[in-house]
Amino acid sequence: MTAETERIAPAEERRLDADNKDGSTTDSLQEDVIVKPAADAPEKDESNMFGEGNQTFRTLSRWDTILVLVTNQVGLGILTLPSILHTLGMVPGLIAIIGLGIVTWYTAFELLQFYRRHPHVLNLVDMAKVVGGRPLEIIVGIGLLFKICMTCSSATVTLSIAFNSISSHAMCTVAFSAFGAIGCWLLCIPRTFKFVAHVGVPSTISILAALLIVVISLGVAGHPDGAPLDWNKELVVVGRPDFSSGLSACLKVCYAYAGNVAFVSYMAEMKNPSRDFVPALTILQVCSILLYIFTAVSIYCLSGQYVRSPALGSAPAIPAKIAYGIALPAIFATGMVFGHAAIKYMYVVVLRALKSTHQATQNSVKSWSVWVGCTTVFWLVCFVFANAIPIFDSILSIASATFIAWFTFGISGVFWYHRNWDEKFQRKNIPLAIVNALLILQALFMNGAGLWAAIQGLLNIFASENGVKGSFTCADNSVF
């Protein structure tokens, strides 16, 4: 047992006792925690620094968690799903949407199992430190920042597409990207996820309303943007894409379920994660799968071969402008919720380096200076990435192939093997051992073949006659 584990053991025992009083179940591997708290131990939960000090960040109830999870997941990814049905075909596409939704529920549940065993962790990087010490902590920390940075960059790209669509490309795309990044920077200034929960309802309503406008306009007009007046609709039931196109389509489905990277950060600010996270996660995944199916099928069946990604661009010009305007809160919320998770990690790292973790929840000059500084650096980098890869589909595919592969699938498999290493070949564990080995192999495959397919697609757009010719371009990126 390390010094750090000895320090937090009493807190673990208090956490487990509190969970058991609530009637919740805990992982059987927690039974080795036998250290009892002193009789006069304080009642407050000190299992991580966000529960210490005069102000606690542990404020998320079950309902708050549901709102944060929905804001985290239902966003940019849904806008690319109708187009993947055209690439893969309706049957394989729906199988991919449902199947990957179930897989990501399981991988998120594995994160909770690990968190129950080590409730002092604040994020996935802390979990990696438990598994592989300082070297793995550094590797995963860098990967975490790049992954979330890519996601927030895709939000910035989507904002530039929205501004271009609404204004008919009235300004340079780089300037529109800057406006989007500045807006997200302002939204990330508040320091707790409780603030994120407050925007969950309006964010979800805005994206649903925007999609509904697209569906209604396509149903009434019967004429998607870019289609000739005498067009004949073509629907693909079972597609025959080439390897690159098919893999890129699957990467976009993975992106729609890429919320796992921030789930541990939410657990660290929940009042009772052992009791509340699984119900919140289940509600999220069921609603997400149903919403994804409805959106993908309805928009694709109405648009046919003229479906676009983002899907809002499939509508006729005027409804598309209205839809993008209504969807702006959801797009900003996506940047905020993921950006907040990355900034919170940077904040913790800097405070630990300054030996000032006791100020994490204080309203001191130092704590606020560190927070604002981390926020500024993060969104500057996102702005650069957004202009380096200004195409919506490409930045989603590249993000999925590089980091989402591990943070959504592979790393949960690693954590399972760490928890069950001594019992991995027991009869009851063999099925899960196989499943988690496949998750790790899936991440490796997406890293290699997936990244090649994503970059090839981007280069093809850059090389096309009417394409965006490169990075940091003023060209209109709303037509791709």
The whole-angstrom distance between residue 184's C-alpha and the CA centroid of its chain comes to 16
Whether residue 122 is contained in a domain is answered as yes
Asked whether 374 and 350 are in contact (CB, 8 A), the reply is yes
8-state DSSP, 60? B
Least confident of 21-25, 36-40, 308-312: 36-40
Q: Which amino acid does the sequence have at 297?
A: V
Whether residue 189 is contained in a domain is answered as yes
pLDDT at 363: 84
pLDDT band for position 259 (cuts 50, 70, 90): confident
Whether residue 474 is contained in a domain is answered as no
d(CA 183, CA 402): 26
Whether residue 401 is contained in a domain is answered as yes
Tell me, what CATH number does 317's domain have? 1.20.1740
Sign, CA torsion 181/292/229/325: negative
Sign, CA torsion 104/105/106/109: positive
Measured from the Cβ of residue 388, the count of other Cβ atoms closer than 10 Å reads: 12
Structural domain including 343 reads 62-463
Domain count of the chain?
1
Whether residue 24 is contained in a domain is answered as no
Asked whether 390 and 240 are in contact (CB, 8 A), the reply is no
Whether residue 480 is contained in a domain is answered as no
Q: Show Cβ contacts of residue 231 under 8 Å, excluding neighbours closer than 6 positions.
A: 223, 304, 306
pLDDT digits (tens, 9 = 90+) for 401-424: 888 889 899 999 999 999 998 887
What would the mean pLDDT of 442-450 be, rounded to a whole number? 90
Cis peptide, bond prior to residue 92, ω within 30 of zero: no
pLDDT digits (tens, 9 = 90+) for 180-215: 999 999 999 988 767 766 776 788 889 889 999 999
Q: SS3 of 270, please?
A: strand
d(CA 333, CA 320): 20
pLDDT at 59 over 80: no
Q: Buried (b) or exposed (e) across 437-465, using 16+ Cβ within 10 A?
A: eebbebbeebbeebbebbbbbbeebbeee
| pTM (two decimals) | 0.78
d(CA 476, CA 468): 7
Least confident of 92-96, 140-144, 174-178, 300-304: 140-144
Whether residue 386 is contained in a domain is answered as yes
Q: Which amino acid does the sequence have at 450?
A: G
